[in-house]
């Protein structure tokens, strides 16, 4: 991940790997030096001239043992420790288990595990200015520890704020649904979920770069019209559905009437003039396209009565 530059052109602090020593070995050394040094210091007090100075030097062995033990620390899997010496960053240790480093180093632990942020529904305006509610679930993890700690004040709060900004920006780039003013191939929030999710992940990746955070997944979890226009848009969708259904019904009815007339003509069952064909077409269309059941009328006379 390329770290972004500040407005002044200064390169942000980059993570540097810092090796540490096996903590178990240093524990054995420290626990050995403490009692040995104390015993030597205690036995040295019976030596006569210079015994106090000699005992003090031996006591330093115990102090050295305590100093070594103070450098121990534990790292869980997917956890790192950032080390600094007198407020100067010296590196990051990612080795798990019991580790040992210079006791003068200040150690600040940070989790490298994947975290999930479930954004609450936000009221935003889509591309056409319609108020909509949108929410997302984002899976992220810290990748550059130095940026996460030293480049932003609070990494989790930074992620939350930038995720909200990214959702608002994303909603303004797409319309909620198809409309007369949109191209048929244009992606919408409701129909193009995969493309919208990819665009959201790309936008989050750019915004999270300053905090050293990597986006592993991002999906919309909530998408709806705002309550103030929900009823109006629902009626619009119902009208579009009715029109679409009517178009299919009429197309099917016309096809059936055409097949009926063609079959009667080919088989010479009955010969109809244009006026009777028009009446038959009208009756068949009424029967096939009506919302309610039709009541047939039986003609007991001739065809022309």
pLDDT at 3: 47
Tokens at residue 266, please? 């080919």
Fold designation for 115-225 = Tetrahydropterin Synthase; Chain A (3.30.479)
Angle at 38 between CA 35 and CA 42, to 5 degrees: 135
Q: Residue 175 carries which DSSP code? A: B
Give me the count of residues in the chain.
305
Domain parsing of the chain, residue ranges: 21-110, 115-225, 230-289
Tokens at residue 166, please? 């990214």
User: Pick from 145, 168, 159: which is nearest to 115 by CA?
Assistant: 159
Asked whether the predicted pLDDT for residue 254 surpasses 80, the reply is: no
Q: pLDDT digits over 19-34, tens only? A: 889 989 999 998 888 8
Asked whether the predicted pLDDT for residue 214 surpasses 80, the reply is: yes
What is the value of pTM for the model shown?
0.68
Strand order in the sheet with 21-22: 21-22, 97-100, 72-75
Question: Any bridge partners for residue 137, and if so which?
Answer: 118, 219
């Amino acid at each position: 991940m390329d770290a972004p530059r500040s407005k002044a052109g200064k390169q942000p602090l980059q993570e540097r790997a810092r090796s540490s020593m096996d903590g178990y070995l240093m524990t054995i050394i420290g626990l050995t030096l403490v009692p040995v040094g104390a015993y030597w210091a205690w036995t040295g007090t019976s030596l006569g001239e210079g015994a106090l100075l000699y005992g003090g030097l031996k006591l330093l062995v115990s102090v050295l043992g305590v100093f070594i033990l103070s450098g121990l620390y534990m790292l869980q899997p997917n956890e790192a420790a950032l080390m600094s010496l007198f407020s100067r960053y010296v590196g990051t240790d990612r080795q798990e288990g019991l580790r040992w480093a210079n006791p003068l180093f200040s150690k600040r632990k940070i989790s490298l595990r994947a975290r999930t942020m479930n954004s609450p529904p936000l009221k935003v305006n889509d591309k056409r200015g319609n108020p909509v509610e949108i929410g997302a679930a984002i899976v992220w993890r810290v990748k550059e520890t130095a940026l996460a700690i030293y480049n932003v004040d609070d990494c989790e709060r930074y992620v939350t704020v930038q995720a909200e900004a990214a959702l608002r920006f994303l909603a303004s780039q797409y319309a909620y649904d198809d409309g007369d003013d949109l191209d048929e191939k244009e992606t919408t929030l409701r129909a193009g979920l995969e493309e919208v999710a990819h665009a959201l992940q790309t936008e989050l990746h750019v915004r999270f770069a300053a905090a050293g955070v990597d986006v592993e997944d991002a999906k919309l979890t909530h998408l709806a019209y705002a309550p103030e226009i929900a009823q109006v848009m629902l009626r619009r969708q119902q009208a579009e559905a009715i029109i679409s259904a009517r178009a299919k019904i009429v197309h099917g009815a016309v096809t059936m009437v055409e097949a009926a007339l063609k079959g009667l003509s080919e088989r010479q069952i009955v010969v109809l003039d244009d006026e009777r064909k028009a009446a038959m077409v009208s009756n068949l269309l009424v029967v096939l396209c009506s919302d309610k059941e039709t009541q047939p009328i039986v003609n007991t006379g001739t065809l022309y009565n």
